[in-house]
Structure 1
Amino acid sequence: MSPAHPSPHPVPTDADWSAPLAPGPLDATVVLPGSKSLTNRYLVLAALASDRSRLRSPLRSRDTLLMAQALRSLGVGIDDVAPEGEVAPGAVADWVVTPPEEPASLRGDVTVDCGLAGTVMRFLPAVAALADGTVRLDGDPQARVRPMGPVVDALRTLGVTIDDEDGHLPLSVAGRGRVRGGAVTLDASASSQFISALLLAGARYDEGVTVHHDGEPVPSEPHILMTVETLRDAGAIVDDSEPNTWRVEPSEINALDVSVEPDLSNAGPFVAAALVAGGTVRVPGWPQHTTQAGDLLREILDTMGADVRLDRSGLTVVGGDELVGIDIDLHDAAELTPTVAALAALASTPTWIRGVAHIRGHETDRLAALTAELSGIGSAVTETEDGLKIAPAALHGGRFRSYHDHRMATAGAILGLRVPGVLVEDIGTTGKTLPDFVGLWAGMLEGAAPGVPVR
C-alpha cells in the first residue's frame, strides 16, 4: 500500500502550513487531550454495558467522533455532560453513554462512516453482529486499502454473515441480535486491532470468545493488554495466561466511570520538541502506570539525549547538549515511528528503526512515505525490510506531504523546528486524533499551551 509520489519535488500550495522555527529554548507546559485508543475502547464497552457509563475527559477528535456517531446510529445514547468539580482550562465535556436495554436491541439497517479510523473499521463489525439488521461500513478512499480480512474471516467462523470486498471495506454485517461465539484462530501479524475487536465484543457472545493468534509476532501488543485491562475494568473475565491466546468468558459488562488518560503517542511531537529546540516541555497528567505504547517515549528521548523525569505532576523533558541517533525495535510501539524518524533526521549520529514492517498498512505506507519525504528535504534515509536507516545529513526546506496521515503531518512539524522552509501539506489531518494541533504547537512555542501559565 505505497503512497502516491506525484513528483520528486512537489510544488507548494496555498494550503500548505509553514512549520514554524523554534525561536529559542522552550519553556512550556502542554496540556494534551485524552487517549484515542482508550476513548474508543471505553465507548465500545459502554455501548455493550448493562447500565449507563460516564467517560471523563474523553478525546474529541475525528476518530472518536466517528466512533461515537457509529454507536449512536446503532441506538446507543451518547450525551455531553459538564465535568464535575473543579474544571481545568480547556476541559472538555464528559460523555454519558446509555446502552440499549439488551445488545440485541442495537439497531440495524444503518450505514457507518469509518473515516480512516482503524479502531472504528475493525472494532465495529464485531459489535454490529449483535445488531438487529444489516450494518454497512465504509470509509475514506484510503480506508478501502487497509486490511480487514482477518477480523472478517474470524467473525464468519463465529457464525456471522458478512459481505466484503476481498478483505477490505466496504462491507455489510448481517446482524441477527446475537452471535454464537466460540474459538477462532487468526493471523493478527498485520494489526493487533483484529484481536482487540473480537475481545471487546466477545463477552456478549453466547459462548464468549477464544482468540488464538497463529503467525508472525503480533505488532503493538501493548494495545491488546490495554484491551484486556479495559475489559477487566468492566467486570469481564479474561484469561491471557497462555501465549498468543486470549479467552473472554460470556458475561454482562458493567457500567464504567473512568477518566481517560492523556494520549501519550500524541505527546510525541511536543516532548520531542524539547530535544530539537532545547529547553523544557512539561506534560501534566502523564500516568505513573499505563498500557499505552506511547510511554516508550520516555526511554527513547532519554537515549537520544534528553533529561526525562516523571513524577506525580507529570512528565518533564529537558533538551540535552546533543541529539543523538538510536538503534531501536519499535515493533510494540510502531505508532511512534514518524516521531522517532523526524528526530533521527536531525541527529548527529545514525539511527536504525527496526520491527515496523506492519506500518506499511497504516493510514498510508508509512515507511515509503517517510523515505520519500525525508529524502525530499535532504535526509540520508534508506527503507529496509522492516524499518528505516537514517544517517546524518544537511537538511533543507521543502514541501513535506502528509498523505492524509496525522503522524506524517506532525513529523513535518518537528523537522520545521530546526529546518527553515518546511511546508507541511494538509496540517488539518492532525484532527484525526489531536484537535487544534496548530494552536497547541503555537502555544508551546510561545512558552506555554493556550490558557496554561508557564511554570
Structure 2
Amino acid sequence: MIVSVKKSTPKGTIPAPASKSYTHRAVFIASLGKKEVELSHPLLSADTKSTMEACRLFGANVEERTDSTNETKIIIRGFDGKPKTPEKPIDVGNSGTTLRLMTALAGVADGSVTLTGDESIQKRPNTPLLKTLNEMGAEAYSENNNDCAPLIVRGKIKQGNFSIDGGMSSQFISALLLSCPLLGGDSIISIDGDLKSKPYVDITLEVAEKAGIEIKEHFKWKMTEKDGTKSEVLVYSIPGKQTYDLGNYIIPGDFSSASYLLTAGALIPGAEVEMSGLFPSAQGDSAIVEILEKAGADISWDKENGIIRVSNKNSKRLKGIVWDAGETPDLVPTLSVLGAFSDGETRITNAEHVRFKETDRLKAMATELTKLGAVIEETADGLIISGEKSKNEMKGTAVHGWNDHRIVMSLFIAGMMIGDVTIDTAESVKISYPDFFEEMKKIGAIFEKC
C-alpha cells in the first residue's frame, strides 16, 4: 500500500495504543502459568498475534473476547510451565520478540521445534541466543547455517552458570530470563559487554515479578586477563522450579507508538496534541518527553492522570540535540525526523544495534531523509543531521518505507511537515500500530491511500 501525505496540522486528543512490548510479555508469561488470566487493553497487532499463536502451539489456550463495553480482551489458560512440542513449525511473521522468546522456550520443551518467519526475520541474526542455548545443553542451530531463521531447537536446556553477549539485542536476555525459572535448579546469566536496550529487560522483569517470579539483578567484579584490571558485569540470578501466576493484568499505553504523534505535535506549526493513557512505566521510550523538552518543545506530562500535552502554537522551530540511543533504539527513526526539521545539529549516538531491527534503520532513515532534502551523515553507530542546512531544502517526493512500521510512521510525520510525500509498504504499520492511519485522520492528518 502507498500513502500520499499532504501538509497538515494535527489537533485533538488521542488515546495511546497499548504497549506492544508489554502485550508480548504478558501473553507469554500468562501462557507459562496455569490459572486463567484476563489481559485488558492489549495491543492486537500482527506481532502480538504472532506471540499469541506461538503460545497456542506450545499448548496454551489463548482467546480473544469482546465484553459488554465492546472492549477486546485476551483470555489465557497456560500450560503450567510444561510446554508441549508444537506439531508444526512456529511462524513468527515479522516479530523478533516472538522469535527470541519462543526459541528459548523451545529449549524447555521435549522434542524438536522449528521456528521461522518472514523475509526480514530470516535476515536477523540470533548468534548470542543460539550460542548460550547450546551451552545450556540444547541443540540449537540455524537451518541455513547463518544464525538466522529458520531455527531448529532440540531441548532440553539445563540450569547452570552462563553468559551471553548483551550488545546485539535485549530480546535474547529477556527470553532466557523468562525460561530459566522453569528449569530444575538455579541459573546465573552474566551479560558480556554493555546491555543495549536495557529498559526492555526491565519491562520483562516488571511483568515477571507481577507473576510471582524471583529474578535478582546485581553486579559482580570481573578480572581482565590481559592487564589485570577489574570491570563490573551485570548478572541475573534465577531460582529454578518457579511457578508463574500473573493474574488479571492491564496493558499500559505505548510510548514508542505515541512518539510519532507527540513529535508531530511538537514540530508542526500550529499543532496541538493531547495523548491519554501514558503513565510512568519501565518503558525506555518514555524518554520521548525528555527529548522533546531538550529540543525546546512546549510539552507537559500529567503523570498522575497519564496525559501528555504538546503544542507548537507559536510555530517555532525546535533545536538540535545529542542523544545516546543505547536504551531507546525504537525512537531512532522518530529522532531522525525531529533532527531534520530542527535548527542546528542533531547527533544520534550509540545506536549500532538499530541496524539489526526489521531493517537497518540507520541506513533507511539516512537514505529516505536525504531524498526529502535533509543533510544527513550516517556513522557506524548513529546519524548526524544538520537541520540548519536542511531548512530550505526539504520538499516532498516518493520515499521507500522499507516494509518497516517505524520507518513508515516516522516518514508520515515528515510528510505532514512538508507535504506531497508518498510512502510505499505503508501496510507495515499493522506490525505495531494497526489503527495509526485512522488515529492520524482523527487529529487532522490529510492523506490518501493508493
Provide the TM-score with structure 1 as the length reference. 0.89
Is the Cα–Cα contact under 8 Å of residues 106 and 130 in structure 1 kept in the other structure? Answer: no
Check conservation: 2:38, 2:76, Cα contact below 8 A.
yes
What corresponds to 1:432 in structure 2?
Answer: 431
Provide, for residues 55-105 of structure 1, a one-character-per-residue CA deviation record: whole Å limited to 9, x for no partner: 111110010001101111222101123347xx4xxx6411111112x4335
Equivalent residues of 1:55, 1:257 under 8 A apart: yes
Query: CA offsets, 1:396-451, max 9 Å, x none?
Result: 1111211111110011101011112111111110110111211111112169xxxx
Which range moves more in the overlay, 243-252 or 256-265?
243-252
Contact 2:263/2:292 (CA < 8 Å) preserved in 1? yes
Query: Per-residue displacement from partner, 1:322-347 (whole Å, max 9, x unpaired)?
Result: 22211111111011010010111111
The alignment's C-alpha RMSD in Å is 1.7
Counterpart of 1:207 in structure 2 is 185
Give the partner amino acid of 1:174. Answer: R
* Structure 1 residue 421 corresponds to structure 2 residue 410: no
Runs of 5+ in structure 2 lacking a partner? 220-232
- Counting only pairs closer than 5 Å after superposition, residues 52-131 of structure 1 correspond to structure 2 as 52-83=36-67, 87=69, 92-100=71-79, 102-131=80-109
1:337-378 C-alpha deviation (Å, 9 max, x unpaired): 100101111112211111101111111111111111111111
What does residue 453 of structure 1 align with? Answer: none
For 1:235-250, what aligned pairs fall within 5 Å after superposition?
A: 235-242=212-219, 243-250=233-240
- The structure 1 residue matched to 2:20, chosen from 36, 40, 51, is 36
Partners in 1 of 2:24 and 2:160 — Cα distance?
24
Tell me the equivalent position of 1:294: 285
Note the C-alpha offset of 1:302. Answer: 1.1
2:245 maps to what in 1? Answer: 254
Pick aligned residue for 1:147 from 91, 112, 125: 125
Give me the identity figure in percent.
28
Amino acid at match of 1:367: L
Per-residue displacement from partner, 1:27-61 (whole Å, max 9, x unpaired)? 31111221111111111111111322111111100
Spell out the pairing of 1:187-336 with structure 2 (5 A cutoff): 187-215=165-193, 217-242=194-219, 243-250=233-240, 251-277=242-268, 278-287=270-279, 289-311=280-302, 312-313=304-305, 314-319=307-312, 321-336=316-331
Q: Distance in 2 between matches of 1:443 and 1:134?
A: 48
Deviation at 1:247, TM superposition (A): 1.5
AA at the equivalent of 1:298: V
AA at the equivalent of 1:297: I
The equivalent residue for 2:223 is none
Task: Please give the per-residue CA displacement for 1:9-30, whole angstroms capped at 9, x wherever unaligned.
Answer: xxxxxx42102321x4x33111
Contact 2:408–2:428, Cα closer than 8 Å, also in 1? yes
1:3 match = none
Trace 1:7-18 onto structure 2 (pairs within 5 A).
15-18=1-4
Amino acid aligned to 1:305: G
SS at match of 2:376: strand
Secondary structure of the 1:110 match is coil
State how far apart, in whole Å, the 2-side matches of 1:402 and 1:446 are: 18
* 2:160 aligned partner: 182
Question: Counterpart of 1:360?
Answer: 355
208 and 119 in structure 1: CA distance in 2 versus 1, 3 angstrom threshold: farther
Distance in 1, matches of 2:205 and 2:185, equals 18
Higher mean Cα deviation, 291-300 or 323-332?
Answer: 323-332
Tell me how many residue pairs correspond in the alignment: 421
Q: State the AA in 2 paired with 1:352.
A: R
**Paired amino acid for 2:365:** L
- Look up the SS of the partner of 1:374 in the other structure: helix
Q: Is the 8 A contact 2:162 2:190 kept in 1?
A: yes
Q: Tell whether the 8 Å contact from 1:329 to 1:354 is kept in structure 2 after alignment.
A: yes
Query: Does the C-alpha gap of structure 1 residues 442 and 208 become closer, same or farther in structure 2, counting only changes over 3 Å?
Result: farther
CA distance in 2 between counterparts of 1:388 and 1:30 reads 31
C-alpha separation in 2, matches of 1:445 and 1:276: 15
Aligned partner of 1:168 in structure 2 is 148
> Aligned partners of 1:115 and 1:80: how far apart in 2?
19
- SS in structure 2 opposite 1:359? helix
Whole-Å Cα distance in 2 between the matches of residues 334 and 105 of structure 1?
A: 32
The 3-state SS of whatever aligns with 1:395 is: coil
Q: Secondary structure at the match of 2:419?
A: coil
Q: Which amino acid aligns with 2:58?
A: L
Distance (Å, rounded) in 2 between the aligned partners of 1:80 and 1:377 = 42
Q: Distance in 2 between matches of 1:105 and 1:434?
A: 30
Q: Distance in 2 between matches of 1:401 and 1:307?
A: 31
- Structure 1 unaligned residues grouped into runs of 5+: 1-14, 448-455
Deviation at residue 233 of structure 1 after TM alignment = 0.9
Q: Does the CA contact (< 8 Å) of 1:104 and 1:132 recur in 2? A: no
Distance 1:421 1:322 in 2: 21
Q: Is the 8 A contact 1:54 1:95 kept in 2?
A: yes
Residues 141-193 of structure 1: per-residue CA shift (max 9 Å, x gap): 111111111111111111112231331111112245xx422221111201111
Alignment match, 2:333: 338
Q: TM-score, normalised by structure 2?
A: 0.90
User: Cα gap change, 1:219/1:443 in structure 2, threshold over 3 Å: closer, same or farther?
Assistant: same
The amino acid of 1:395's aligned partner reads: M
Code of the aligned partner of 1:302: E
Which digits, 9 at most, give the CA deviation of each residue in 1:96-128, with x for residues without a partner?
A: 11112x433523332111112110111101112
How many angstroms apart in 1 are the aligned matches of 2:407 and 2:109?
A: 36
